[in-house]
Structure 1
Amino acid sequence: MRATSAFLFAAGWFLQSACAALIPATVEERSLECVVKPKIFIISMLKSEASNKPNRLLTIVLWQFDPEATVWWGIDEFDILAMNITVPGFSPLFPEAHCTADGEICQIVIGESEINAATSIMALAYSSRFDLTSTYFLVAGIAGVNPEVATICSVTFARYAVQVALQYEFSQLEIPSNFSTGYVPLGATTPDEYPENIYGTEVFEVNQNLQKIAAGFARKATLNDSDDAILYRANYAANEAYAAGAAPSGPSVVECDTATSDVYFSGTQLSEAFSNYTTLMTNGTGNYCTTAQEDNATLEAFMRAAVNKLVDFSRIIIMRTASDFDRPYPGEAATTNLFWAEQGAFEPAIQNIYLAGIKVVEGILDNWNSTFAGGVNASNYIGKSPY
């Protein structure tokens, strides 16, 4: 009896220390000595639907909030919850990284806002549980959308992320008559001047060749729409400048850029001001399209990790789906657009994270040996923008 017990103990210890992949990680985490090397990491955020509706690591998917995260759970293609790894420094609300049993695909939920994003990504990048040196990161969340560029329910892929609110701010009631906005670049004295003071997080540029490849994969998807979204976007046809927002053909995949702001802004004046700032900070090459709260913070954390050779900055993809318009249609109040309008885009935008994102994940995995293992060479500058 004692020999049998000793044998079982020894066998159990051996299997645990060897980090055997067949041990169900949903019941017990793999041993702390096991290093997971994903090919893809999905980054997710967290947001409640109420805020948007009226009354190998081979790939890591980065999530900001819960619906954005759970859309990947229980799918046919893979089980992202097969292995769950508690990581010190993650959000106390989302303390675990989720991975497939083979460790090729993982997910982190970083929470909302710049602070949550930066701290969670830093904890991930410096965790001893992961080898992220060859991992692709898919930032996958929803966003507001500029009707001059795209429509609700669309899927966007960014080259630039611009921290639009990192400026001086004056109340609109107190600005001079020759100011178009209360936002003034740091160190400047008028809204259209380039900033004299640079903090270093204002603009990030990711691999444009990878951006285009990812968008190409996503275009294979059939995107979700809704009857309410079809009716709502039609209102934007009243302004010719909003032809892309009115889009009778419905949602599409668009290559355009994203704005980061902790302030959840809405309305024509602020959106135009931040569009102009995006143009200014990218020397006319950026195209302001989506609004989010995390991306520059996520990218700064990755940049610091890349300097220490923990991640490859050229392997980052920024995908945002359009859950609402960033401004009202002609004749609608800005508060109505944000608080009360039935835009009908939240649920399709959430579903389109998965519908488009799964094509990106599968495209990377299916072409790993031929294209992605060695990396996709960037033909553009990547990192902190030189502009």
Structure 2
Amino acid sequence: MRQAVKAGWMYGLGLLVGLVAAGAGSARPAQAAPLEVHVVVVTTFELGQDSGDMPGEFQHWVEQYPLEQTLPAPGMEHGVLRYNAQDHVLGLVSGEGPGHMAAAITALALDPRFDLRHAYFVLAGIAGVNPNKGSIGSAAWALHVVNGGAAHLIDSREIPSDWPDGFTPLQGHVPDEQPRPPLHSIAGDMAYTLRPSLVRWAYERTRHIALPDNEKLQAHRRAYQGFPEALKPPHVMMGDTISGETYWLGALMNRWAERWVAYWTDHQGEMVTTAEEDIGLCQALALQARAGRVDDRRLLILRTTSNFDMPPNGVAPATMLANAAHEENLPGLYASTSAAYQVASPIVRELATHWGSYEGQVP
């Protein structure tokens, strides 16, 4: 009898445990579906807060687009993402340098909160500009991104007399190594060509935007006599970018950068802007595209020009560096951060709000 009672008690306890477990399971919230993202706006730095003070690259997007919703950003230096739920536009600050950019994009691609398989990525950031090719306050859509950080280098005081500079390609021993070592080398990808039709589509839609000019920009340009392109007022153009973590400047370094871009693009590209993060963005998207998390054909890079990358005639590079070592002192900082939003935002809005035209087919 006792065994029968014990058996019945054990059965009842087991049934109760089962019911509790079943109830707990039914009460567990279903995992939220990933947020749909049409466009990711990529910026690289903010000077202070995301709103209400002197703007860096991100603040115009937060305040004017606007990107109203704040989301935590684990694995990213800035710590927060911004989202516009109506247009499905997500904004981020990567942190400066290609390493920070690659880490931020990888963290985003691996984040289960977001569906990025059809998202467009639009980098809108400031840059130095080659005075042989452009002026400050301008905006350049890049077709080519060239890695300026991966190379062999001999100090300029020790290079052979017939070399143009001390840089040679990795896996090469002379500056113009032929045949050129492969783009996909042990050190990573040396050059990327963005989707030409998409870049030209963005350029044609924005080429007529009138960018603001002012006396400060005009005064800075006037020093560049002998550089016809540097004397022009701000405008929208197409122009390739060289990307590396070293903040270089000076006429000799500019000459190297022009040569380096021409070399790695089979003389199809011309160095117009110089920035840090673009190569990290391209590399991270290319790797995540292999995993099916993103589509790296859907990338646009706009660089707006805050400073020249070399001084005018008669000014030493060290003097130029002393005057522009911090972002706040760049002569075209405010003009370039404003231009980045002014030129890139119509493209972001077009892609985001006419999603039926762009989700399945890339321009």
Please give the TM-score of this superposition, normalised by the length of structure 2. 0.83
How far does residue 108 in structure 1 lie from its aligned partner after superposition?
A: 0.9
CA contact (8 A) 1:256 1:287 kept: yes
1:279 to 257, 262, 265: 262
- Structure 1 segment 1-387 matched on structure 2, within 5 A: 33-46=32-45, 48=47, 67-75=56-64, 78-81=65-68, 83-91=69-77, 94-102=78-86, 104-194=88-178, 195-196=180-181, 198=185, 199-237=187-225, 239=226, 242-247=227-232, 250-340=233-323, 344-370=331-357, 372-376=358-362
How far does residue 368 in structure 1 lie from its aligned partner after superposition?
A: 3.0
How far does residue 79 in structure 1 lie from its aligned partner after superposition?
A: 2.7
Q: Distance in 2 between matches of 1:165 and 1:41?
A: 26
What's the CA shift string for 1:245-283, capped at 9, x where partnerless? 111xx1111111010110001011111112101101110
Q: Distance in 2 between matches of 1:251 and 1:277?
A: 26
How far does residue 101 in structure 1 lie from its aligned partner after superposition?
A: 2.9
Q: 1:258 to 1:150 in 2, by over 3 A?
A: same
Q: 1:180 to 1:47 in 2, by over 3 A?
A: farther
CA contact (8 A) 2:87 2:353 kept: no
Structure 2, unaligned runs of 5 or more? 1-26, 49-53
How far does residue 344 in structure 1 lie from its aligned partner after superposition?
A: 2.8
Aligned residue type for 2:32: E
Aligned residue type for 1:236: Y
CA contact (8 A) 2:41 2:122 kept: yes
Aligned residue type for 1:340: N
Q: 1:205 to 1:334 in 2, by over 3 A?
A: same
Aligned residue type for 2:205: F
Instruction: Say which is worse superposed, 120-129 or 192-201, in terms of deviation.
Output: 192-201
Q: 1:40 to 1:220 in 2, by over 3 A?
A: farther
Task: Count the aligned residue pairs.
Answer: 324
How far does residue 144 in structure 1 lie from its aligned partner after superposition?
A: 0.3
Aligned residue type for 2:42: I
How far does residue 345 in structure 1 lie from its aligned partner after superposition?
A: 0.9
How far does residue 121 in structure 1 lie from its aligned partner after superposition?
A: 0.5
Aligned residue type for 1:218: T
CA contact (8 A) 1:229 1:343 kept: no
How far does residue 309 in structure 1 lie from its aligned partner after superposition?
A: 1.2
Q: Distance in 1 between matches of 2:166 and 2:283?
A: 26
Instruction: Say which is worse superposed, 100-109 or 278-287, in terms of deviation.
Output: 100-109
Q: Distance in 2 between matches of 1:328 and 1:47?
A: 26
Please give the TM-score of this superposition, normalised by the length of structure 1. 0.78
How far does residue 285 in structure 1 lie from its aligned partner after superposition?
A: 0.3
Larger radius of gyration: 2
Partner of 1:57: none
What's the CA shift string for 1:161-185, capped at 9, x where partnerless? 1012311112111212112212121
User: Percent of counterpart pairs with the same letter?
Assistant: 27
CA contact (8 A) 1:222 1:355 kept: no
Q: 1:374 to 1:220 in 2, by over 3 A?
A: farther
CA contact (8 A) 2:210 2:235 kept: no
Aligned residue type for 1:364: L
SS of the residue corresponding to residue 99 of structure 1 reads strand
Structure 1, unaligned runs of 5 or more? 1-13, 19-31, 50-64, 378-387
Q: Distance in 2 between matches of 1:297 and 1:121?
A: 9
Aligned residue type for 1:349: S
Q: Distance in 2 between matches of 1:190 and 1:67?
A: 40
Partner of 1:380: none
Q: 1:202 to 1:67 in 2, by over 3 A?
A: same
What's the CA shift string for 1:211-240, capped at 9, x where partnerless? 111122223433122211111112223x2x
How far does residue 343 in structure 1 lie from its aligned partner after superposition?
A: 6.3
SS of the residue corresponding to residue 272 of structure 1 reads helix
Q: Distance in 2 between matches of 1:343 and 1:137?
A: 27
